[in-house]
Amino acid sequence: MSWTGKKVFITGADGFLGSWLTKRLVREKADVTVLLRDRENDSKLRDLGILEKVNAVYGSVEDLELIKRALNEYSTEVIFHLAAQTLVGIANRSPLSTFESNIKGTWCLLEAARELKVPRIVVASSDKAYGDQEKLPYTEDFCLQGMHPYDVSKSCADMIARTYAKTYGMNIAVTRCGNIYGGGDVNWSRIFPGTIRSLIKGEDPVIRSDGTLVRDYLYVEDAVDAYMMLAEAMESGKLAGQAFNFGTNRPISVLDLVKLIMKVLGKKGKIIVQGNAPNEIREQYLDSTKANRVLGWKPKHTLEQGTEKTYAWYESYLREE
C-alpha cells in the first residue's frame, strides 16, 4: 500500500519509537498528525527537523474530547497508539500516573476512534504484558498476567484494545515488542543508552540488576518496520483483534549484553553490578514466528549491527552536548 496522503494520527510521537515512526511516515509522504503532551523546547521531532512537517495537537491522551476533536478535524484513517509511561522504575514509584497514561489513555483513544469509525488502529502493547511465565518463549496465545504496575498497565491496555475489536467490530491489532533500542533514547537508566554513554565517557558501565535478567532486544528501525507492515496488512480487515510478537529470537542476559556492547565498540572497563532492580521479570523473550508467517516480517539487524548504529548516534549526540 502507498502511504502518500494517508491521514495518520500518532500518539507518543515525541517519544523514542514514536519519533522514528513519525520520521518514517513523513518520508513516505503520509499526512501525519501527532499528539504531543507538552510544548517542549527539546522536542525530538523538532531536533529531527520534522515538527514543521506534521500537524501538531497539544494535550493529553487521557482527554477524550480533545482526542475526538483531533481525529475528526484531521479525518484520521490510521492510528498508531504509542503514548505511554514506559519506565518500570517510575511505574513502581508512581503506579497511578502510569495507570492513567497507559490504561485510561488507551480506552480514551479507542472510544474516540469508535465514535468516529477510524478504519485502522495499531496499539502498542509489550512483551511485559505476558508477565512471568513458566514456559518460554512467549507466543501470542499465552495468557496475559502482568503482576507489577508497568506489566499490569500493558496487560490491561492490550486486553482493552482487543475488547474494542471483538465487541465493536473495530479493525484493531496489537504489537508486543521486545526491548527496543537505538539512537534517540535518552532515558539513561536503560541498559543500552546508559552503557554506551558510560563507555563514551570512559566510565565503568553500571548494571542495576544482578545481571542475570534475560531479555530480547530489538533495533528501533526493525520495530518501525514491524508497525508499518502490520498497519499495511490490516487493510484487508482480516487481522482485527489479533496480537503480534516482534523480537529477534535471540535472548541474552543483561551481563552478556553489556559484554557484547563493549566487545563491539572495542571498549574496556569493569562492569559494576548493583543488584538493585525489584519487580523485574527474570526471563522474557518472544517467538516471532507469526509475524514472519503472516506479515513477512523479520528483523534486518543483528544485535551487533544494531549496536554499531546505536553507538554512532550517541557518539555524535554526546559530542554536541
Instruction: Say whether 33 sits in a helix, a strand or coil.
Output: strand
Beta strands (DSSP E) in the chain are 7-11, 31-36, 55-58, 78-81, 120-124, 172-177, 179-181, 206-207, 214-215, 217-219, 243-246, 252-253, 272-273
Q: Is 150 a catalytic residue?
A: yes
For the chain, state the CA radius of gyration. Answer: 19
In terms of Cα–Cα distance, which of 31, 151, 170 is closest to 107?
Answer: 170
5 CA to centre of own chain: 25
What is the dihedral angle through the alpha carbons of 242, 12, 31, 158, rounded to the nearest 10 degrees?
10
Phi, psi of 228, rounded to the nearest 5 degrees:
-65, -45
Catalytic residue, chosen from 150, 181, 217, 314, is 150
C-alpha cell read off for 142 = 499465552
Taking the C-alpha atoms of residue 125 and residue 189, their distance in angstroms, rounded to an integer, is 21
- Phi and psi, residue 124, nearest 5°: -80, 115
Residue 273: closest CA among 219, 212, 223: 212
CB atoms within 10 A of CB 251: 18
Residues forming the active site: 150
